[in-house]
Amino acid sequence: MAALLLASLLWALGSIYSKTADLPKTALMTTGAEMLTGGFALLLVSALSEQWGVFNLAQVSVNSWLALAYLIVFGSMIGFASYAWLLQNAPIPLVATYAYVNPLVAVFLGNWFAQEPLTPRVLSAAAIIIGAIVFMNSARDSRAKRAAGRGASK
Nearest CA among 149, 127, 148, 129 for reference residue 137 = 129
Per-residue pLDDT, 1: 82
Q: What is the mean pLDDT of the chain?
A: 82
Rounded average pLDDT over 53-72: 88
63: three-class secondary structure by DSSP? helix
Percent of the chain with pLDDT over 90: 10
Question: How many beta carbons lie within 10 A of that of residue 140, not counting itself?
Answer: 13
Distances, alpha carbon 16 to alpha carbons 11, 21, 96, 143, in Å: 9, 9, 10, 21
Query: Sorting pLDDT into bands at 50, 70 and 90, what band is 153?
Result: low
Residues 6+ apart with CB under 8 A from 133: 97, 100, 101
Which amino acid, residue 95?
V
Is the model more confident about 21 or about 148?
A: 21
pLDDT value at 37 more than 60:
yes
d(CA 115, CA 8): 30
Q: Each residue of 81-103: pLDDT tens digit?
A: 788 788 778 887 778 777 777 78
pLDDT value at 76 more than 90:
no
Rounded average pLDDT over 71-86: 82
